[in-house]
Amino acid sequence: KAGVTQTPRYLIKTRGQQVTLSCSPISGHRSVSWYQQTPGQGLQFLFEYFSETQRNKGNFPGRFSGRQFSNSRSEMNVSTLELGDSALYLCASSLAGTEGYGYTFGSGTRLTVV
């Protein structure tokens, strides 16, 4: 079966711009989580959506937002980009989220802010 699909794979944006990243989870998976990965901070939790509702949110500024659609596809948006937002953004899907199922990660979107 198809894995978790993230688009685009690579993105270069200018400071101050905004960006939208997309994630299509594995068919049947209702939970989608987003993580930011950087060499210094590792994997940092952004938010988790389950059945279109944000269930958990990490410690990121309000410039980071997300949503989930009825088909479980998810998007995350970063507004007013800063240089420090350069990172690998990973989406992960799960049958039901953190209660007891492992996550399947996508290949990520590499965002570079210049």
Partner 1 sequence: GQQVMQIPQYQHVQEGEDFTTYCNSSTTLSNIQWYKQRPGGHPVFLIQLVKSGEVKKQKRLTFQFGEAKKNSSLHITATQTTDVGTYFCAGYSGGGADGLTFGKGTHLIIQP
Would you count residue 84 as binding partner 1 (CB under 8 A)? no
Pairing verdict, β 31-38 and 87-94: antiparallel
Residue type, 73: R
Would you count residue 23 as binding partner 1 (CB under 8 A)? no
| Contact code string over 24-63 relative to partner 1, x by CB under 8 A | ---------x-x-----xxxxx-xx-------xxxx----
Our measurement of the distance from residue 82's CA atom to the centroid of its chain's CA atoms, rounded to an integer in Å, reads 17
**Residues numbered 64-83 forming contacts with partner 1, rule: CB under 8 A:** none
Among 30, 65, 86, 105, binds partner 1 (CB under 8 A): 105
Name the DSSP letter for residue 50: E
Would you count residue 104 as binding partner 1 (CB under 8 A)? yes
| Token duo for residue 8 | 């685009």
Total binding residues toward partner 1, as defined by CB under 8 A: 26
**Contact criterion met (CB below 8 Å) for 31 and 93:** yes
